[in-house]
């Protein structure tokens, strides 16, 4: 019988007005991969923050028993000394430092008075090889992609002699190939005796690597499933997560009438803002009709986000040229304000960095995109602002204590709902959604899909960018495939399959 390396007993954690964890219990055996699943706001990340000392002993009720010892961690350093290392969804790397410097930041090689740089970079290269990363440890973080940055975080954890590795949504920003590599790496670590706790909303990935799954809902432990005894069927996991069965992943539209072309981009070219001679968008052409969801599919680095941002008020890129037509008339969007005034909205993939002001309230964030709608001669009507915020919190089913709560205190899915509410308040005719369901649970995804359907039923248009092919196929009326900055294919919904999309990408690279 395997040794139980971790027990979290009767963990209860309360924030002002919210009980985030309510008598949660978790047991993890040595050498297993244990998945933690639940809707956004269920308490998964909070529980792992308790375990890693981010929330210190005394700020919660219950006890942690690790490797047979009752632990009272006061900070993250305390847990790391025991070999517990957490890798957050938002990577904690410094872009302008090298890989090697990042890997030993706060864990420097050398004496108290002097860093041994030769040892630092030598050890870093050794750890990079363990995670299958061939880049030099002298490479700057800003010069490698997100997938490689995730591997750097894992190598960094190995440098701390990790015994229990906690990963919070590690594949949220990765393409399928990068995600598969990371999951296979976890399986390799498992063979060597490492224990892992994996938080993920991607149920196919959980089924692939996990030995056990613990479901948390509304701050309570619902059940633990064991692969040797229980089925890991997605429907069963979803039912435990949301408290009901979800028969259809993608809601059907009651009105599928698609009108005339209302938004068109022609011969759109964008140069890289830093590196001369590199085109991130190369003579792109596409259109969207009234009442239509147009999907844009492609691998990471295809140029989809760069395309969306350059269209939306030229907020990315250099030497932008091409034409935009709105209802048949050519328009110019020299800045974001002009794009908004033409009823164009862009929901960024980076909700924390570019989408929301985390230190401001839900109320204030909701009205930011169109403040004139709650103002009279530049004087804000605060009562109207609160009415608007309450309306969108109710409409989006956002879980929060009050509309005065700082957005930074919300879970990722609830942040996404505030971000979506902010742009719906701007009353767009064309809504560009860039990875709108990244890192959020199936229940919250379904609610966002319903909002999209409601918009197009009202005759509005949606441009839907996603790295998840099932949702591109499930939500789009028409799909464009993008690769290396170019639109390489256009597929009607009836003809589109994952295999066809990937074949288009592979053939375009030849």
Confidence of residue 1 (pLDDT cuts 50, 70, 90): low
508 vs 35, which has greater pLDDT?
Answer: 35
Q: What pTM, to 2 d.p., does this model score?
A: 0.66
Q: At what angle do helices 146-158 and 117-130 cross, to 10 degrees?
A: 110
> What pLDDT, on the 0 to 100 scale, is given for residue 59?
94
> What pLDDT, on the 0 to 100 scale, is given for residue 486?
93
Read off the pLDDT of residues 441-483 as tens digits, 9 standing for 90 and up: 777 788 889 889 999 999 999 999 998 888 899 999 999 999 8
For the chain, the C-alpha Rg in angstroms (whole number) is 24
Tokens of 221: 């432990």
Q: CB of 399 within 8 A of CB of 411?
A: yes
Read off the pLDDT of residues 122-136 as tens digits, 9 standing for 90 and up: 999 999 988 888 889
Measured CA to CA in angstroms, residue 286 lies from 176, 206, 323, 374 at distances of: 25, 36, 11, 35
| pLDDT mean over 429-436 | 94
Residue 472 burial class via C-beta count within 10 angstroms: exposed 0-12, middle 13-18, buried 19 and up: buried
């Amino acid at each position: 019988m395997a040794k139980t390396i971790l027990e979290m007993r009767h963990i209860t954690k309360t924030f002002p007005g919210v009980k985030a964890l309510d008598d949660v219990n978790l047991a993890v055996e040595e050498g297993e991969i244990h998945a933690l699943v639940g809707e956004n706001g269920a308490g998964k990340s909070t529980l792992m923050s308790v375990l890693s000392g981010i929330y210190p002993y005394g700020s919660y009720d219950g006890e942690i028993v690790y490797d047979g010892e009752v632990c009272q961690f006061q900070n993250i350093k305390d847990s790391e000394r025991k070999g517990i290392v957490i890798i957050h969804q938002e990577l904690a790397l410094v872009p302008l430092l090298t890989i090697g410097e990042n890997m030993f930041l706060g864990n420097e090689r050398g004496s108290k008075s002097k860093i041994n740089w030769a040892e630092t970079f030598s050890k870093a290269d050794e750890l990079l090889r363990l995670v299958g990363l061939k880049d030099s440890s002298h490479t700057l973080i800003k010069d490698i992609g997100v997938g490689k940055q995730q591997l750097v975080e894992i190598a960094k954890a190995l440098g701390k002699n990790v015994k229990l590795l906690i990963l919070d949504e590690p594949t949220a920003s990765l393409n399928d190939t990068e995600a598969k590599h990371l999951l296979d790496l976890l399986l390799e670590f498992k063979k060597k005796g490492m224990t892992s706790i994996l938080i993920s909303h991607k149920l196919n990935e959980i089924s692939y690597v996990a030995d056990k799954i613990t479901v948390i809902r509304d701050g309570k432990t619902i059940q633990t499933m064991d692969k040797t005894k229980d089925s890991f069927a997605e429907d069963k996991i979803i039912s435990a997560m949301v408290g009901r069965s979800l028969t259809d992943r993608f809601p059907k539209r009651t009105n599928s009438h698609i009108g005339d072309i209302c938004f068109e981009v022609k011969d759109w070219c964008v140069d890289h803002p830093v590196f001369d001679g590199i085109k991130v968008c190369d003579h792109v052409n596409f259109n969207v009709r009234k009442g239509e969801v147009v999907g844009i599919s492609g691998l990471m680095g295809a140029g989809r986000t760069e395309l969306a941002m350059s269209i939306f008020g030229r907020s990315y890129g250099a030497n932008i040229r091409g034409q935009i037509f709105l209802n048949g008339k050519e328009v110019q969007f020299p800045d974001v304000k002009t794009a908004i005034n033409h009823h164009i909205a862009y929901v960024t993939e980076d909700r924390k960095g570019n989408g929301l002001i985390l230190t401001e309230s839900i109320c204030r964030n909701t009205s930011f995109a169109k403040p004139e709608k709650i103002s009279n001669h530049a004087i804000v009507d605060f009562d109207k602002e609160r009415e608007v915020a309450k309306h969108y919190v109710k409409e989006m089913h956002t879980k929060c204590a009050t509309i005065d709560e700082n957005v930074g205190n919300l879970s990722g899915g609830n942040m996404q709902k505030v971000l979506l509410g902010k742009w719906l308040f701007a009353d767009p005719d064309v809504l560009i959604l860039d990875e709108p369901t990244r890192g959020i649970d199936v229940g919250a995804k379904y609610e966002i899909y319903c909002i999209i359907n409601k918009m197009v039923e009202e005759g509005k248009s949606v441009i839907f960018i996603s790295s998840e092919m099932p949702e591109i196929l499930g939500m789009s009326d028409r799909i464009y495939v993008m690769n290396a900055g170019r639109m390489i294919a256009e597929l009607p919904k009836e003809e589109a399959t994952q295999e066809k999309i990937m074949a288009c990408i592979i053939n375009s690279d030849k």
